[in-house]
Structure 1
Amino acid sequence: MSASPSELRLVLLGPADAGRRAAVCSLLGLQDSPQGSTEAHECSKFRGEVCGTQVTVVSSPAWFSSAFSSAERRRLISSLIALSCPAPHAFLLCVPVNQPADGEPKALDALETLFGPPAVTANTIVLFTHMEELWEDEQLEEYIVTWRKDLQELVERCGGSYHTLETRHGGEEERKVVEGLLAKVEQVVLKTGGVSCPLYEEAEERVRQRQQEIVRQRMAEVTEEELEAVRQEAEGSAGGFHVDLDHIFSSTTAPPAPPCSLSSVGVVGEAGGLDPLAAQPGEERGAVRISGRPVCGRVSGGSGGGHSGLRGH
């Protein structure tokens, strides 16, 4: 898939309380919540110009969670694919730093099965949200290495690619955070070209066919501005893609080899990375409380064992 540097297509994944609404507002420089419900059980698409780059953001609810039925999952996945055609450049997995990473591994499993392993290792960036829950002088890397092996494992699965969504300061600092994220997405584009998958190829063909049908039905010339509206209408009516949800969400059956291929794997060099931290003997996962702040971390029941540091980027 060829990609123009003047356009970036992003897909935000995560539950309603993962900060998707704040992410959309920050990415597109909006003061208030955008039109459309990024928190509801629907996929929503937003567009805006950021630092001279046209950015399209598709916000998707956590269809990978147990809160959705098989029929709802199929509908949401079809909607996500249609709205993010011709294909996203990157998936942004919104992960709150103050909550246990329960559903996120399942999200990565689903992306891997739908779009192929490189969709996770090369095209997904972990976007840490709710950074205000950390102490003012607390460093994310130290927090993750010390307390949050679950978050560290997520980052490692995504090829070491992560970013923080810092909104408590706003203004110029928030703008720099967004610029940094877009720079990482551009690195993904340079290394992988973006996602390339039969599901997206089928979706783009359906959207184009529907777009042509709408234009023919109007029996009139369509301006460039009207063509974008026609495109959006076509995206809304294209769907019904065949997705084998039984294999993706079965707890007893191992998923088959992905039915799609992606461009070559590449690790985002500029993105932050976490070195492996091996579990120590007697160590188990649990909930801990630090100065009244609940987090999900590790409770050590044994002695010994050091830890590795973080890769600087």
Structure 2
Amino acid sequence: MDADKPIQTTDAPGPEGETKKAEAAAKVVNHLPEVRLVVVGWRWPGKSLTGNTIIGREEFRLERAAEFCVKRETEVEGRQVIVVDTPGWFSAQDTPPSYKQEIVRGASLCPPGPHAFLLVIPVGMFSELDRSRIEEHVSLFGERVWRHTIVVFTWAEVLRTISIERYIRREGKELQWVLEKCHRRYFVINNCIFGEHPQVGRLMEKVEKMVADEGGHYNPEEVEPEKKPLDENQNPARDVRELGARPKQGSGVGLSKAMEVEPLSSE
């Protein structure tokens, strides 16, 4: 069976008005036997911890900054789930070219291509430089990658009584730009809950719906090669995209960095 095609049901649909039956049937139609995910983001926003939450155990190491992609597999509600954790990019300095190459390689580790890129963003102050860094690194996969990207908000518990919708409105046009590029697809994950939890199943359903809406998975072969100038030595603007962003202020990133190095609770 083709792992990229949803499992189709041959049952006739129920009578009109049976909303619950219709929703259940839709889930069956969209159900993928295999879900392939690539996790991207900054170095310390809870990116690897998000991978561990999906896997359900500590597979991605948190105590050091990874320089290479790591691939792990698990099963979630009858689906085989493949998660590729990529090197995090830097907030306050340039991302080395070798790291960028390794980030792009992550898409080739789950052939024929990932169903979704999970762009991990910590809840906190979101600036124009943050948006620029996201655009710089996500665009490494080509413009079509946005059709297969879901924003995953981490550390949302710092919002307390503020809803994620209100937070998104409060942060203004820079965060709105990212969400519009992702067709307003986002998910809030609680990485303090480790092990089996309904939130992972709901994330898988969101990925499956995106695959159904976009007509399949991301194809790494569709990425256009970067055009190099005829004479790189006479192109002083070639390093503009390497400009680093300042560290976030007042965000949950500092908290996440401290929390990531601590043992995860099995509760």
TM-score normalised to structure 1 length: 0.57
Of residues 149, 154, 177 in structure 2, which corresponds to 1:153?
A: 177
Residues 131 and 33 of structure 1: CA distance in aligned 2, closer, same or farther (over 3 Å): farther
For residues 64 and 199 of structure 1, the distance between their equivalents in structure 2, rounded to whole angstroms, comes to 26
Q: CA deviation at 1:147?
A: 3.8
Q: CA deviation at 1:88?
A: 0.5
Q: Conserved in 1, the CA contact under 8 Å of 2:152 and 2:189?
A: yes
Aligned to 2:154: 129
Secondary structure of 1:18's counterpart equals coil
**CA deviations over 1:219-263 (Å, ceiling 9, x no partner):** xxxxxxxxxxxxxxxxxxxxxxx953858xx9947xxxxxxxxxx
Aligned length: 209
Q: CA deviation at 1:152?
A: 2.4
Q: Any gaps of 5 or more consecutive residues in structure 1? A: 201-241, 254-287, 297-313
1:3 aligns with 2:4: yes
Aligned to 2:27: none
- Which one has the bigger strand percentage? 1
Aligned to 1:188: 210
Q: Conserved in 1, the CA contact under 8 Å of 2:131 and 2:174?
A: no
Aligned to 1:198: 221
For residues 18 and 36 of structure 1, the distance between their equivalents in structure 2, rounded to whole angstroms, comes to 11
For residues 41 and 18 of structure 1, the distance between their equivalents in structure 2, rounded to whole angstroms, comes to 16
Secondary structure of 2:82's counterpart equals strand
**CA deviations over 1:89-115 (Å, ceiling 9, x no partner):** 111100001243534543334434533
Aligned to 1:62: 88
Aligned to 1:95: 121
Q: Any gaps of 5 or more consecutive residues in structure 2? A: 6-31, 230-234, 239-247, 253-267
Q: Percent of aligned pairs with the same residue? A: 27
RMSD, aligned α-carbons: 3.5
**CA deviations over 1:106-146 (Å, ceiling 9, x no partner):** 3334434533x3321x21001101112211x2211112212
For residues 94 and 189 of structure 1, the distance between their equivalents in structure 2, rounded to whole angstroms, comes to 19
**CA deviations over 1:24-61 (Å, ceiling 9, x no partner):** 1211111x354698841221111101111000011112
Q: Conserved in 1, the CA contact under 8 Å of 2:125 and 2:171?
A: no
Aligned to 1:106: 133
For residues 38 and 73 of structure 1, the distance between their equivalents in structure 2, rounded to whole angstroms, comes to 18
Q: Which has the larger radius of gyration?
A: 1
Structure ranking higher on relative contact order (CA contacts 8 Å, 6+ apart): 2
Q: Which amino acid in structure 2 is aligned with residue 190 of structure 1?
A: A
For residues 171 and 33 of structure 1, the distance between their equivalents in structure 2, rounded to whole angstroms, comes to 12
Aligned to 1:138: 162
For residues 155 and 132 of structure 2, the distance between their equivalents in structure 1, rounded to whole angstroms, comes to 19
Q: CA deviation at 1:69?
A: 2.4
